[in-house]
Amino acid sequence: MSTTTEKKALKGGEFLIRETQAHEVFTPEDFSEEQQMIAQTCRDFLETEVYPHLDEIDSMKNPDIMPELLNKAGELGLLGTAVPEALGGFGMDFNTTMLVAEVLGGGHSFAVAQSAHTGIGTLPILYYGNEEQKKKYIPKLATGEYKAAYCLTEPDSGSDANSGKTKAVLSEDGKHYLITGQKMWITNGGFADIYIVFAKIADDKNLTAFIVEKAFGGITMNEEEKKMGIKGSSTRQIFFNDCKVPAENMLSDREAGFKIAVNILNVGRIKLGVAALGGSKMIAHSATNYANERKQFGTSISSFGAIKHKLATMAVKIFVSESAHYRASQNIDDAYNAFVKAGVAPGEARLKSLYEFAIECAILKVHGSEVLDYCADEGVQVYGGMGFSAEGPMDRAYRDARINRIFEGTNEINRMLCIDMLLKKAMKGELDLMTPAMAVQQELMSIPDFGAAEDETLFAKEKKILLNLKKAGLMVSGAAIQKFMDKLSNEQEILMNLADMLIEGYAAESALLRVEKMVSVKGEAACALEIDMMRIYLYEATEKCVLAAKEAIYATSEGDTQRMMLMGLKRFTKLEPMNLKDARRRVADKMIKENKYPFS
């Protein structure tokens, strides 16, 4: 089967039951010169326009600074990367928009404003708007002439978005809807010109979405929220008081709002994950700089083993998260191209491709945000007392990082979504989980073949570990389903155990595929440190999976069944010894020598 044909056949979540080949995945090493130039434009923008003004941005004393920054970003085309050329944008592929989101993700509060504007503020109109709506709004959103915000969350409606109480009442002449209600935590709320507002009409079960201009009137707002982090991001409560919205400003169909909200979140999740990756790289760079500069006991602290451990672990997590994000984003692009070739309209094709890989989007939101959390926490530790000082860069990085585990659905919600979506795909017949799950059950009952010859090819052992991790996941998932059946959704702790196994398996496999592809191009010796990072993560991921699996096994089985599953888990997670300390030191030494995160 050709590579192209295999790519067409790939489905979201299929990584659990299908062996992916290294030549199938996109890696950051595959970015073109043009894409690298775009990334450099983003870095230059942060260096010249954002970083010199971070204190001013966070102080919120100048309410015009963020809109002005967005205007400047618009002039460079950084707000229109995903917008088709016909509507005033650059029409870049999804992978390129991901690269832009990654680099700008190191921009603290600016990154939040830019992401909200280009993502949840613009994309609902681009993907769901009719031709008149798109022509009216998208070009001005792409240039920054209009700034956008997304009004979904309410005081009593957070994760349960469809329970919102905001109402839209049709006027007697049928020409307008009068929207009344309260929205909260609205990013860009203080300066936005356009709001995507979700409300219910009459006794509808589901939300309806509207494009609301601030100029329509009937809109008031509270003062800026006082937040732990991202202090320079405008966050307001917004009140709609009989806001008069033309009937033609309904977005898509009546009661389509919940579908819009869910589907746009798929974009938001993977974009948040990759933006967190950008923030992680910035922290790793700063921490390495400081470790080289800071001297204690007559030597740079970067020479100490404990510091090397922290720097190397940052690098490992960043490398793995980067591998996983661009693997998934290329899958999304491939699916999009296949839908378009089949005759699907581009906007619908983009939504269908994102929906297809919604599992991966949720996985990466969790992984990226938790990598950033680790880097921020250990970044403070590397800086020591200066890390706790507001005069140093880690204070802002630490506070700004924390929101990402809450944004775009909490990490707990996303963990449960991973498993829920996977099981729904299986029930619909879109993924055959039953056949491999039954094969694992048969393997558990069989006697291990201790006499089998070992495959001595490069990465054969790592591939076997990953295959066995997938088997362990199928084994534990099958036991949970058998015990709880349709009530499994109530067992949130078990769902999160299963999700952790899924997330770690996907991340570790992504790193292995990237390294294998790199070795095929550059050779094993040139990729020695990348091999180290991949193996370090694979070992750590296996240990995490063991803990998650044991907790789930203890909660789903007892007696002989439990003993058999624990024996199976031990068989599936067997690791040969590896000197992790020396591997981490090799990675850290490279960072220390180059005084940065050097693996991109």
pLDDT at position 8 is 47
Local confidence band at 451 (pLDDT 50, 70, 90 cut-offs): low
* Predicted pLDDT of residue 452: 63
What is the arithmetic mean of pLDDT over 7-13?
71
Report the C-alpha gap between 39 and 25 in whole angstroms. Answer: 21
- Percentage of residues in the chain having pLDDT higher than 70: 97
Higher pLDDT pick, 435 / 450: 435
Pairwise CA distance, residues 158 & 409, whole Å: 9
Note the pLDDT tens digit of each residue in 91-110: 999 999 999 999 999 999 99
Buried/exposed 82-118: b ≥16 CB within 10 Å, e otherwise: bbbeebbbbebbbbbbbbbbbbbbbbbbbbbbbbbbb
Query: What distance in Å separates the CA atoms of residue 283 and residue 393, rounded to the nearest whole number?
Result: 9
pTM: 0.95
The residue among 160 and 569 whose pLDDT is bigger is 569
Question: Domains in the chain, please, with CATH?
Answer: 30-146 (1.10.540.10), 149-257 (2.40.110.10), 260-413 (1.20.140.10), 427-449+458-594 (1.20.140.10)
pLDDT tens string 331-379: 999 999 999 999 999 989 999 999 999 999 999 999 999 999 999 999 9
Give the mean model confidence (pLDDT) for residues 161-166.
86
Distance CA 499, CA 497 (A): 5
Q: What is the per-residue pLDDT across 202-257, written as a single tens digit (0 to 9) for each?
A: 999 999 999 999 999 999 999 999 999 999 999 999 999 999 999 999 999 999 99
Reading the block at residue 568, the tokens are: 């199976």
Within 64-169, residue ranges assigned H as helices are 65-75, 94-104, 109-116, 123-128, 131-143
Taking CA 271 as the corner, what is the angle to CA 268 and CA 272, rounded to the nearest 5 degrees?
80
- Residue 114: pLDDT band by 50, 70, 90 thresholds? very high
The percent helix, strand, coil of the chain (3-state, each to 5) is: 65, 10, 25
Active-site residue flag, 412: no
Q: Which element (helix H / strand E) includes 213?
A: strand 208-213
- pLDDT-derived band at 34, boundaries 50, 70, 90: very high
pLDDT at residue 449, as a whole number: 65
What is the per-residue pLDDT for 208? 98
> Which of 165, 67, 159, 175 shows the shortest CA–CA distance to 116?
67
Pick from 5-14, 94-103, 291-300, 492-501: least confident: 5-14
Q: Identify the pLDDT of residue 450.
A: 61
Amino acid, single-letter form, for residue 351: L
pLDDT of 465 > 60? The answer is yes
Q: How confident is the model at residue 4 (pLDDT cuts 50, 70, 90)?
A: very low
Chain Cα centroid distance, residue 341: 27
Residues 6+ apart with CB under 8 A from 523: none
The answer, yes or no, to whether residue 456 has pLDDT greater than 80, is no
Exposure b/e, 526-558, CB count within 10 A at least 16 = b = ebebbbbbbbbbbbbbbeebbebbbbbbebbbe
pLDDT above 70: residue 6: no
Rounded to whole angstroms, the Cα distance separating 210 from 250 reads: 4
Query: Does the pLDDT of residue 5 top 50, yes or no?
Result: no
- What is the average per-residue pLDDT within 475-501? 95
Helical (H) or strand (E) element with 271? helix 257-293
- Residues 6 or more apart in contact with residue 596 via CB below 8 angstroms: 284, 285, 288, 289
Structure tokens at 584: 């981490």
pLDDT tens-place string over residues 322-333: 999 999 999 999
Q: What is the pLDDT of residue 7?
A: 47
384 Cβ neighbours under 8 A, 6+ residues apart: 294
Q: Please name every residue paired with 180 in a beta bridge, in sequence order, or none if there are none.
A: 167
Task: Write the pLDDT tens digit of every residue in 565-586.
Answer: 999 999 999 999 999 999 999 9
Q: Is 297 exposed, middle or buried (0-12, 13-18, 19+ CB in 10 A)?
A: exposed
Q: Return the half-sphere exposure (C-beta side, CA atoms, 13 A cut-off) of residue 506.
A: 30
Residue-averaged pLDDT of the chain = 94
Which pLDDT does position 445 carry in this prediction? 82
Q: Is the pLDDT of residue 509 over 50?
A: yes
pLDDT at 159: 72
pLDDT of residue 49: 98
Residue 371, helix vs strand vs coil: helix
Using CB atoms within 10 A of its CB, is residue 513 exposed (0-12), middle (13-18) or buried (19+)? buried
Mean per-residue pLDDT, 60-86: 96
Cα 7 from Cα 333, distance rounded (Å):
10
- Structure token digits, residue 433: 């989980």
**Lowest-pLDDT range of 16-20, 173-177, 298-302:** 16-20
Partners of residue 151 on adjacent β-strands: 197
Distances (CA, A) of 510 to 15, 214, 361: 10, 44, 14
Q: Which of 151, 83, 90, 91 is nearest to 116 (CA)?
A: 151
Q: What is the arithmetic mean of pLDDT over 157-172? A: 87
SS3 category, 520: helix
- Three-state secondary-structure class, residue 203: coil
Strand 208-213 and strand 299-300: the pairing is unpaired
Check 102, 154, 370, 408 and give the catalytic one: 408
Q: Look at residue 524 and tell me whether its pLDDT is greater than 90.
A: yes
pLDDT value of position 453: 64
Task: Provide DSSP, 449-493.
Answer: -TTPPPP-STTHHHHHHHHHHHHHHHHHHHHHHHHHGGGGGG-HH
Q: What is the dihedral angle through the alpha carbons of 176, 181, 182, 186, rounded to the nearest 10 degrees?
A: -30
pLDDT at residue number 234:
97
* Tokens 């499994």 found at: 488
| pLDDT higher than 80, residue 454 | no
C-alpha closest to that of 462 among 525, 500, 510, 518: 510
Which residues fall within 8 angstroms of residue 525, CB to CB, at 6 or more apart? none
Question: What percentage of the chain reaches a pLDDT higher than 90?
Answer: 92
